[in-house]
Chain A
């Protein structure tokens, strides 16, 4: 099996606009989605990212924000296992992030060892 990375892109404003109950319910869907992958031995790891950050540029300058913002902002990642890019892509369709508008999942294969 190959390893893939899901990069979750989207605006954090959507998350912030929801009530704690809605957020909690939403996270239960993530738990279910990732839990199913884990049951099949396909979940490796993953973390959420805060939307604040800095970007260091090649000229040594520092931007006091992530490289891309808005819809392009990377909000987190997941490492998963799949036989092929198309299988991984199929898996990514189940991402609960799509329940809320404006999200996208970028599926990338991890450079093989």
Chain B
């Protein structure tokens, strides 16, 4: 009974990193109509690892052990279903799975390292099919590619396992009915499809980064998974596009500051009050490297600009050193690409720092569509801050109070209450 804790940890870690790859290969073998079959094999392999390792101790190469076990289980499944109609063996390569002469060799061929990587990426593009809703995309990614249990996915999205099961069911049905091909798209489609994948990854990241979870472990898990997915796109020649590097850089800069954003009690800390010495310098440097890689081609994306902005914040030794001029320039460009009210409001906050509250208010008033914005807590929080700096306490409090009503997040509510109380 050697160190069971250690075994649990290794397995958990392995599972997060490898289960998605195993599931992808198995879905390629069994077909998209048999996703459960693939998930079951991986689950069985995990259970077997847990039982065997606790009894015999950990093998020298746990990853290889897990893969071998999954592969052998897949062979069993094929043998059992050789004559059933469940698996479609009509493809010439799959036909070879039906003969004892070729089953094991063919199975081995499915599990070569490059193939595994490609299948994983193919699966990622499949999960992010444009016709699947983004909500369903990231639910399915967490379950199938990141090895989350239904319960863990539910916890991540602060919803019930039931809701998650329904979402998963709908996505699987879509796969089944439409026979989605799990392949890296053709060069013609690659930019567009990668963009959809990146949106899902960034959403996942933000779920961890901005989420209202008190649970740090879940947050870090989500962030780690999002970065892992993005990194795997960077490991393939065809998918390492500038936009992918840009998002990777952005996530590095953001996560470098993760621990300084929230107090131990779970309260948000403003950028100006964060302890900059606690920022992860190695991660910032890594982000810089990615950002340099992002600077080729002529496609300037929102991730490029957001990363450039985040980098400016990381580069400032103290809040007072922030290069607002440069940041404002990036926001101007950002607004050109993405006519997004959040970007607009964030740009107002930059103007507030760079040119003062009067200027910021003038710009804010140029905004159209204020009826929609009226329901936005950020809009009111921004107005609250502007009026506060204009020393118009009444209007400031009015807008802060409205903002408190509009946000669900306890941390943000507390933060806004502190603003009213003059604590920050």
Q: Quick one: CB contact mask for B97-109 with A, threshold 8 Å, 1 for yes?
A: 0111110111001
Cβ of A30 and Cβ of B105 under 8 Å apart?
Answer: yes
Q: Classify chain B: how many residues form its interface, as a range.
A: 10 to 19
B286 interface hit (Cβ, 8 Å): no
- Cα A34 to Cα B93 in complex, Å, equals 10
Chain A residue numbers with a CB within 8 Å of B93 are: 35, 38
Q: Quick one: CB contact mask for B195-222 with A, threshold 8 Å, 1 for yes?
A: 0000000000000000000000000000
Q: Classify chain A: how many residues form its interface, as a range.
A: 10 to 19
Knowing A27-B104, A30-B105 touch, does A46 contact B92 (C-beta < 8 A)? no
Chain B residue numbers with a CB within 8 Å of A41 are: 92
B96 interface hit (Cβ, 8 Å): yes
Cβ of B92 and Cβ of A35 under 8 Å apart?
Answer: yes
- Cα A28 to Cα B103 in complex, Å, equals 10
* A-B interface pairs (CB < 8 A), number: 48
Cβ of A28 and Cβ of B101 under 8 Å apart?
Answer: no
Q: Quick one: CB contact mask for B308-323 with A, threshold 8 Å, 1 for yes?
A: 0000000000000000
B101 → A minimal CB distance (Å): 5
B95 interface hit (Cβ, 8 Å): yes
- Cα A35 to Cα B104 in complex, Å, equals 13
A47 interface hit (Cβ, 8 Å): yes
Residue of B nearest to A30 (CB): B101
Chain A residue numbers with a CB within 8 Å of B100 are: 46-48, 76
A51 → B minimal CB distance (Å): 14
Give the one of B92, B98, B99 with max A CB within 10 A.
Answer: B99
Query: Can you give 24 A-B contacts (C-beta < 8 A)?
Result: A27-B104, A27-B105, A28-B105, A31-B96, A31-B101, A31-B106, A31-B109, A34-B96, A34-B101, A34-B102, A35-B92, A35-B93, A38-B92, A38-B96, A43-B92, A43-B99, A46-B100, A46-B101, A47-B100, A47-B101, A48-B101, A76-B100, A76-B101, A78-B99
